[in-house]
Copies of this chain bind each other. A is one copy, B any other.
Amino acid sequence: MNERATLKTIAKATGYSITTVSRALAGYDDVAEATRAVIQSSAQQLGYFPNLTARQLQKQRTDTIGIILPSVGPRFADPYFSLILAGIGDEIAVSGYDILISTRPPGPAELEAYRSIVEGQRVDGIVVIRTRLEDERIAYLAERGFPFVAFGRTTLDLDYPYIDEDGEAGTYELILHLAQLGHERIAYIAAPQHLTFGYNRLKGYKRALDDTGLVYHPEYVEVGDLTRRGGSAAAEKLLAKPLPPTAIVAANDLMALGTMNHLQQNGLRIGIDISVAGFDDIPAAEALGLTTLNQPIFRIGHQLSQMLLAVIEGQHLAEPKLVLKPKLLIRASVGPPA
């Protein structure tokens, strides 16, 4: 790297003080036009570019927001994360913000990462995605008074802005649909229950069984790790039951795809011999004809960005808490019981 030009370089070159150079370049109107012209051309010629780190230190803001991703289990590679990231990134860029991403395994290292970028003042705000029922990240941020928004609710008694999907209502509607088709043995591949969405979706499953007069049998519920592989493994267990289910609903599409894989390998025809459904409506779902619940993850990312920017600016949020009802999409993977 050739040495970079700083304000000092320009000051020396033009004979003006650093202050004047700074103000000329910043567009202040208390600089003589002639002076500004000289300084600007010198800056141009020297290839000057402001050191953003220095500016950040001075201004006490970074024009950057932070997102911390889990490094194990599903992450970027999970369409859920990619889509939300795309949505956030797209929208935040409009306001000239960048995104700082830290990848950490869940656990203490993760919380440390939050501490680090918050206390280290590396970002102006944070988006917490995939909340947990008792989310210590949110507890920390709220207690710290640091600007943040979350994708997901918690059971914490804290007042913070979020967007969440109504996973309970969505799953409820789906199970109801299956029951109306005549399914009586509807198995469920749940998400880990410390995750808010996992808990809510399972709740919808149980409530729907209740309301339709079907009995909730714990042996028809497996907990999966949200990956395709996990879905496949869970499906295997469910098929091995003495009385296998006629429909399998997974808490997310990825696991539903894994389930489909497994079923097909066992010669079962999806939607005919057995029904399968998921949740999320990731891009592959449509291609595979997977019945699922759509939530506009990409657009939620947009909204989260806008909310966070408002929070950072200290604005009042018109709707600080948003719960969206997902839309049931019936596709070929679901049919009446065989």
Contact = CB atoms under 8 A, between A and B. Distances in A.
Nearest to A119: B49
Nearest to A282: B284
A217 interface: no
A329 interface: no
Contacts of A77: 79, 82-83, 86, 283, 298
A119 to B, nearest CB: 3
Contact of A119 (B4, B57, B69): B4
A37 to B, nearest CB: 22
B103 A101 contact: no
A146 interface: yes
Number of copies: 2
A116 B145 CA distance: 30
A49 B101 contact: no
A192 interface: no
A308 to B, nearest CB: 15
Contact of A53 (B62, B115, B116, B257): B62
Contact of A51 (B49, B121, B298): B121
A50 interface: yes
A176 to B, nearest CB: 27
Given A49-B115, A51-B120, A93 B89 contact: no
B90 A120 contact: no
A144 interface: yes
A11 interface: no
B99 A287 contact: no
A71 B90 contact: yes
A288 interface: yes
B287 A100 contact: no
A134 interface: no
A85 interface: yes
Contacts of A51: 57, 120-121
Contacts of A47: 119
Contacts of A283: 77, 228, 284
A289 to B, nearest CB: 9
Given A49-B116, A120-B51, A82 B89 contact: no
Contacts of A199: none
A100 B257 CA distance: 32
A103 B228 CA distance: 29
A196 B101 CA distance: 28
Contacts of A76: 82-83, 85-86, 89
A103 B89 contact: yes
A124 B255 CA distance: 38
Contacts of A81: 82
A135 interface: no
Given A47-B119, A261-B286, 9 more contacts: A2-B144, A52-B121, A77-B79, A77-B283, A92-B103, A98-B102, A99-B100, A99-B102, A283-B284
Shortest beta-carbon contacts, A-B, top 3: A49-B119, A52-B120, A76-B86
Interface of A: 1-2, 4, 47, 49-54, 56-57, 62, 64, 69, 71, 75-77, 79, 81-83, 85-86, 89-90, 92-93, 98-104, 115-117, 119-122, 144-146, 228, 257, 260-261, 283-284, 286-288, 298
